[in-house]
C-alpha cells in the first residue's frame, strides 16, 4: 500500500506542476494587501483561533493555491469560501497563497488524553493493516509537514476539530477534490475513534 501511495504521489507531482507554475509566481506583499477579507476567519497571520476554521499560516503555497482554485471552480464546496473567491483572479489567489505560506504556524493545543494520542500516533505511523487504512506518514511525513511537490498538505498543529471535519467529509464523499481518491479511500476505511485520535495526534505535532 505504501508503495502505491509513493508512486501516486510522484505521478501527481509531475502532472500538476505545469499548471501550478505556469503563471507569474505569487507575491507575498500583494497577498498581504488582498488579505483583509480573510482576517475574520483566519486572522491576519493565518492562525485561526476558531478550531472549526483551518490554520493556513505556513501551509504549502501550491497547496493553498490549489484549494482556492478548487473553491473557485466548484471542485470543493463551502458557501463562504466559494463566495470569497468568486471575484479573485488566478494571480490574486497565487498572491494570497504566497502571503499565508510565508507566515509561521502557531503550535497546536490538542485536548486528547495520553491514550487517545497513543492511538493517533499508532494510526499515523502504522495505519491499520486489518482494515486497509494507509499510514498517514506515507504522504504527510514523520513530522506532519506534508509533501509540497505532491500537494500533500502540512497537518502539523492543525486544529483537530477542522481536520476531523475534513476526514468526515472525505469519508462521506462530500469532499472530493483529492486526486485519485486518495483521502476518500483512506478515510472511508477509518473508524470514528481512529479519526478522532489521529487528528488529535496531528495537532500535537510541532509545526516548526
Q: Is 202 labeled as ligand-binding?
A: no
What is d(CA 152, CA 147) in angstroms, rounded to the nearest whole number?
5
Number of H helices, E strands in the chain: 11, 0
Packed helices 61-72 and 2-20: angle between N→C axes, nearest 10 degrees: 70
Q: Is 41 labeled as ligand-binding?
A: yes
**If you search the block for the grid coordinates 500537494, which residue do you land on?**
151
Q: Is 140 labeled as ligand-binding?
A: yes
Q: Is 69 labeled as ligand-binding?
A: no
Look at residues 66, 38, 35, 29 and name the one whose alpha carbon lies nearest to residue 146.
Answer: 66
Q: Is 195 labeled as ligand-binding?
A: no
Four-CA torsion 198, 192, 184, 118, nearest 10 degrees: 20
Look at residues 94, 76, 66 and name the one whose alpha carbon lies nearest to residue 153.
Answer: 66
Q: Is 93 labeled as ligand-binding?
A: no
Q: Which residues are annotated as a binding site for heme c?
A: 38, 41-42, 81, 136, 139-140, 183
Q: Which residues are annotated as a binding site?
A: 38, 41-42, 81, 136, 139-140, 183
Amino acid at each position: 500500500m505504501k508503495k502505491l501511495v509513493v508512486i501516486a504521489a510522484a505521478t501527481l507531482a509531475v502532472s500538476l506542476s505545469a499548471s501550478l507554475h505556469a503563471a507569474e509566481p505569487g507575491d507575498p506583499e500583494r497577498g498581504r494587501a488582498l488579505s483583509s477579507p480573510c482576517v475574520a476567519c483566519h486572522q491576519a497571520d493565518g492562525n485561526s483561533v476558531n478550531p472549526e476554521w483551518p490554520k493556513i499560516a505556513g501551509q504549502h503555497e501550491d497547496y493553498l493555491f490549489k484549494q482556492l482554485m478548487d473553491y473557485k471552480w466548484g471542485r470543493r464546496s463551502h458557501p463562504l469560501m466559494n463566495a470569497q473567491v468568486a471575484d479573485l483572479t488566478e494571480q490574486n489567489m497565487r498572491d494570497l497563497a504566497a502571503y499565508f505560506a510565508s507566515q509561521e504556524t502557531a503550535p497546536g493545543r490538542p485536548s486528547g488524553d495520553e491514550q487517545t494520542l497513543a492511538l493517533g500516533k499508532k494510526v499515523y505511523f502504522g495505519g491499520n493493516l486489518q482494515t486497509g487504512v494507509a499510514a498517514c506518514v506515507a504522504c504527510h511525513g514523520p513530522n506532519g509537514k506534508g509533501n509540497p511537490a505532491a500537494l500533500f498538505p502540512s497537518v502539523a498543529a492543525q486544529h483537530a476539530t477542522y481536520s476531523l471535519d475534513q476526514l468526515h467529509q472525505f469519508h462521506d464523499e462530500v469532499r472530493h477534490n483529492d486526486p485519485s481518491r486518495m483521502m476518500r479511500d483512506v478515510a472511508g476505511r477509518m473508524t470514528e475513534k481512529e479519526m478522532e485520535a489521529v487528528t488529535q495526534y496531528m495537532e500535537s505535532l510541532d509545526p516548526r
